[in-house]
Structure 1
Amino acid sequence: MPKKETADSVQAHTEAKLQFYTKYLERYLQILLIAQGIDKINIYDLYCGAGQYSDGNTGSALRAVDAVWKAQVKNTQSKAINLHLNDLDQGKVTNLRGLLANKQSDEKKFAISFSTMEAFEFLKKLEPELPKQDRHTRNLLFIDPYGYKDINRQSLEAVLSSGRTEVVLFLPIEQMYRFRNKTMDDEVDNSYVPLKHFIEQFNLDVASITSEKDFITALETALSFGDQYYTASYSIRNHTGHHYGMFFITSNLLGLEKIIEVKWELDSQQGQGFTGDNQIDFFLETDRLSDLKEKIIKMVCTEEVDNRTMYEFVLKNGFRPKHANEVLRSLCDDGVIHTIDAKNMQRARKGSYKLNYQEFKSDKPAMIFRAGAGE
């Protein structure tokens, strides 16, 4: 189904969606352009739209091009970047071709390609090609459908399975939540069959979902495909108070860290979502950090934890390492936990927790966290 423009101007919730995608894309490119062992980057926008609204604001395709140019200007290494734009609407793709006619660069190895296919038909065509890719290639898929009926679990799993692909997915949670109860019988009205199929694909227990935010949380868990992948969600509330959901799926923990950075940049108090207001309430951040503190205490009091496990745990719970450092510093000062240098098994230097991706990838832990004040 072609992507429809729901308004002639960029509404606040649409802008929030576009910011989420493009801010992550900027970080994604900055990392890959300097990463050793990465030679080629593919970006796929499967519902790209016409590229520009009548009020002059740009859509995902033009913003992606700007992100590529910015990243390449900041980095001297020239790596091949391919942006593929797909939309079933031929007119929108034709419009994009005109807008982007002068945006490719042979010198910078930046190429733009186009197609006009059903998005998940395009994905099925792409599936067998991904395993054949050189291991030095990375892919990012942006999937922003009109509705949810075309979403196919099997195709998502297939493109993720190579370990070289990350997915950003946008879904209209309010619609899905509102009609969830219509799908609970064996026989449902034809108009609810697509939603029933979606719910069954992802094994969602709709009887236990009592809010739109619950639906987002349940779907975030489902998109991990049985904890095979790291996932994150970002809720976007529109002017009517209802929610959309942005979902991110990756097999790479550094990718998860970068999307969490985006979430906290866009929502500095809670790192959870866009609400449509600009109120600043620092008690919200305090409450969130208190939640992290309780989770860390429970984990460390249950088992001995090293810095690699702690780093992963913090990210999976939606926090940045700097939040964990603040919480750990407080817990150590209060004698609730203490740290051990894993190399010599002596008391560790105060304030050093080794929570970063390089330490996570190392063969051995650098730090051990134990309950109590220690000796």
Structure 2
Amino acid sequence: MPKKETADSVLAHTEAKLQFYTKYLERYLQILLAAKDVNKINIYDLYCGAGRYSDGQTGSAVRAVEAVSSAQAKITTDKVINLHLNDLNAAKVKKLRNLLAGKDSSEKQFFITFSRYEAFDLLKKIASKLPAQDRHTRNLIFIDPYGYKDIDKENLEAVLVTGRTELVLFLPIEQMYRFRLKAIDDEVDNPYIPLKNFIEQFELDVTKITSEKEFIVALESALKFQGKFFTASYSIRNHNRHLYGMFFITSHLYGLEKIVEVKWELDSQKGQGFTGENQLDIFLETDRLSVLRKAITALVSNGEADNLTLYELVIRKGFLPKHGNNVLRELCAEEVLYAIDAVERKSVRKGAYKLNYKEYKSRKPSVFFREGPGKKL
């Protein structure tokens, strides 16, 4: 289904969506351009639109080009970056071609291509090519449809299973939640058949979901594909109070950490979403950290935990390593927990808890955490 413009200007929630995508893209590109085992990066925007709104603001395609240019200016390499822009609307593709003429560069190994497919037909084509893809290639796919009719679970999983692809998906949560109960009978009215198909594909028990937030949580869980992937969500509420959800799916915990960074950058109080009316409240982050505190104490109470398991817990819960360090510092100061060096078997200095991806990737714990004041090591 072609992408419909809900407005011909960039409203606040549209800007929030674009920032989520492009801020992650900036991080993604810089990491991969610096990575030794990556030599090619493919970016796919399956519903790219015309590139510019009537108010002069730019869309996802133009911002992607700007992100590539910025990343290449910061990190000089000979790695290939391919940006593929797709939209079924021929007029939009034509406008976008003209807008981006001369923006790619063979000298910088940056190439822009265009197509006019139904988005999920293109996704099938991408999926069919991935098994034969060079292992040094990485892919990012941005799917921003109008609605959910064409979403196909098998196609999503097919592009993720190689472990070389990350995916950003935008969905109209308020609409899906509002009509969920009209789509669960054996026979439903035609307008609700696409929603019924979606609910059944992702095995959502919508009869037990009683809020939009619960719907997002349930869908985020379903998009982990039985634990095969890491997933994060970011909610966006527009000026009409309609709620949307951005969902990010990756095979790598480090990729999840980068998207969590974006969430906290866009919502510094709670790291959860955009409402258009967020007001600064110094207690919001404290309230959120209480959730992490409970999770950490519960994990440690079940037995000795290490810095690797705690790092993964922190990121999975939607927090940053700095949040984990702050909570651990408090717990150790209160003598609820204590930390010891895994090699020297002595207390570690305050705050040296080594919650980071480099340690996690090593698979060798360097700090252990136990309950109590730490008098007996």
TM-score between the two structures when normalised by the length of structure 2: 0.98
Q: Return the alpha-carbon distance in structure 2 between the equivalents of residues 114 and 242 of structure 1.
A: 32
Residue 232 of structure 2 is matched in structure 1 by 232
> Is 1:148 paired with 2:148?
yes
Contact residue 267 and residue 273 of structure 2 kept, 8 A:
yes
Shift of 1:347: 2.2
> Is 1:57 paired with 2:53?
no
The more displaced of 43-52 and 293-302 is 293-302
Residue 101 of structure 2 is matched in structure 1 by 101
Which runs of structure 2 are paired with 1:102-117 in the superposition (5 Å)? Answer: 102-117=102-117
Contact residue 85 and residue 114 of structure 2 kept, 8 A:
yes
Residue 186 of structure 1 is matched in structure 2 by 186
Flag structure 1 segments of 5+ consecutive residues without an equivalent: none
Residue 172 of structure 2 is matched in structure 1 by 172
Which runs of structure 2 are paired with 1:1-375 in the superposition (5 Å)? Answer: 1-375=1-375
Q: Return the alpha-carbon distance in structure 2 between the equivalents of residues 341 and 312 of structure 1.
A: 19
Q: Return the alpha-carbon distance in structure 2 between the equivalents of residues 240 and 9 of structure 1.
A: 15
Q: Which runs of 4+ in 1 moved over 6 A?
A: none
Q: Which digits, 9 at most, give the CA deviation of each residue in 1:163-195, with x for residues without a partner?
A: 000000000111101110101211100110000
Contact residue 44 and residue 142 of structure 2 kept, 8 A:
yes
The aligned amino acid for 1:231 is: T
The aligned amino acid for 1:179 is: F
Shift of 1:242: 2.4
Flag structure 2 segments of 5+ consecutive residues without an equivalent: none
Q: Which digits, 9 at most, give the CA deviation of each residue in 1:61-81, with x for residues without a partner?
A: 000000000000011223110
Q: Return the alpha-carbon distance in structure 2 between the equivalents of residues 116 and 308 of structure 1.
A: 45
Contact residue 237 and residue 244 of structure 1 kept, 8 A:
yes
Tell me the secondary structure at the aligned position of residue 226 of structure 2.
coil
Tell me the secondary structure at the aligned position of residue 346 of structure 1.
coil
Shift of 1:240: 2.1
Tell me the secondary structure at the aligned position of residue 343 of structure 1.
coil
RMSD of aligned alpha carbons: 0.8
Contact residue 72 and residue 78 of structure 1 kept, 8 A:
no
Shift of 1:350: 2.5
Shift of 1:349: 2.6
Q: Return the alpha-carbon distance in structure 1 between the equivalents of residues 200 and 62 of structure 2.
A: 35
Shift of 1:310: 0.6
Shift of 1:291: 1.3
Contact residue 40 and residue 137 of structure 2 kept, 8 A:
yes
Q: Which digits, 9 at most, give the CA deviation of each residue in 1:7-29, with x for residues without a partner?
A: 11111111100000000000001
Q: Return the alpha-carbon distance in structure 2 between the equivalents of residues 5 and 191 of structure 1.
A: 20
The aligned amino acid for 1:136 is: H
Contact residue 143 and residue 169 of structure 1 kept, 8 A:
yes
TM-score between the two structures when normalised by the length of structure 1: 0.99
Contact residue 304 and residue 368 of structure 2 kept, 8 A:
yes
Q: Return the alpha-carbon distance in structure 1 between the equivalents of residues 256 and 303 of structure 2.
A: 24
Shift of 1:344: 2.5
Shift of 1:278: 4.0
The aligned amino acid for 2:184 is: M
Contact residue 305 and residue 368 of structure 1 kept, 8 A:
yes
The aligned amino acid for 1:56 is: G
Q: Return the alpha-carbon distance in structure 2 between the equivalents of residues 182 and 320 of structure 1.
A: 39
The more displaced of 145-154 and 337-346 is 337-346
